[in-house]
Amino acid sequence: MGDLARVNTNVSALRAFQTLSNINDRITKSQERISTGKKVNRASDSPSDYFITRKLGAQIDATMRKNANIERGINFLQTNDSRLAQVATILIEMSDLANQANSLAVTSAEKQAIQQDITQLTQEIQNILQSGVSSHLYTGFTLGGLQNVSLTGNLTSNPLSTLTLDGTNVSVTGSLSEIEATISNIDNALTVVLQDEERLGSFIKRLGTTFELNSVEEVNLRASLSSIQDTDLAQEQMELTKLNILQQATLSMLAQANSSPQSILILFQ
């Protein structure tokens, strides 16, 4: 009769219980994978996969931080670019005023009025350069992945002096030759500002390219992470359904294993 006659230790029931415990553990893990959407929730699930997913997660976070820094850098450069655009607009207006004064038909009083406008516009340029355009652009700084971004030679500590715009060389109240010199000075200053705008534009374009590359890298990293970490919900649901059926079958077998030794009682009748 084998194990059936040894009622002190119900081996069949113990085996059925052990199988049931294993099934219950697998059901718990399957439910966790479905609820979290992850196949790897802790190091014990798969040590190597856990290590890889944590490393990939760190790389994704670093890439996102790089792009956040690049966005700040682009905003910084665009702010300064808009300021230089304002300066360029004012210089164009000053050039137009100077050309207006460059005529024998313009009276002395009219030239004085034009000079007043030019003086005020010159002061506005000074204010914009001192309050809006960051001095970092002209001394060198680190921005995103760019090293030593600098616009050297222009708009330094004394912008108007470098742009040759001051009270002595921007004047339309003198002779026609002096007025022509003023027009030349304004046009030279406009060239300097436009060149700086060009440099800023190239920096912004370069940072935009770096941003796009980082975005593609982030997507690829996330795809790699997903292939290792994410749960296939359809497959996991089928596994859970199978385990639930096995659980019910094992419970039934455990109940039979517990009742089987009772059949030995017939020997004592």
Kindly state the average pLDDT of the residues 244-264: 83
Mean pLDDT of the chain: 82
Q: Are 88 and 194 in contact (CB under 8 A)?
A: yes
Give tens-digit pLDDT for 11-31.
Answer: 888 888 899 999 999 898 888
Q: What is the pLDDT of residue 135?
A: 65
Is the pLDDT at 156 greater than 50, yes or no? Answer: no
Q: Write down the CATH superfamily of domain 47-228.
A: f41 fragment of flagellin, N-terminal domain (1.20.1330.10)
Say whether 141 sits in a helix, a strand or coil: strand
Would the pTM count as exceeding 0.75?
A: no
Cα-based distances in Å from 234 to 28, 34, 40, 176, 241: 17, 9, 17, 86, 11
Kindly state the average pLDDT of the residues 197-220: 91
How open is the CA angle 255-257-261, to the nearest 5 degrees? 120
Q: What is the pLDDT of residue 212?
A: 94
Give tens-digit pLDDT for 111-155.
Answer: 889 988 988 888 888 788 777 666 666 655 555 555 555 555 455
Q: How far apart are the first and last CA of the chain?
A: 18
Is the pLDDT at 5 greater than 70, yes or no? Answer: no
Give the position of tokens 């077998």. Answer: 253
Report which of residues 172 and 71 the model is more confident about: 71
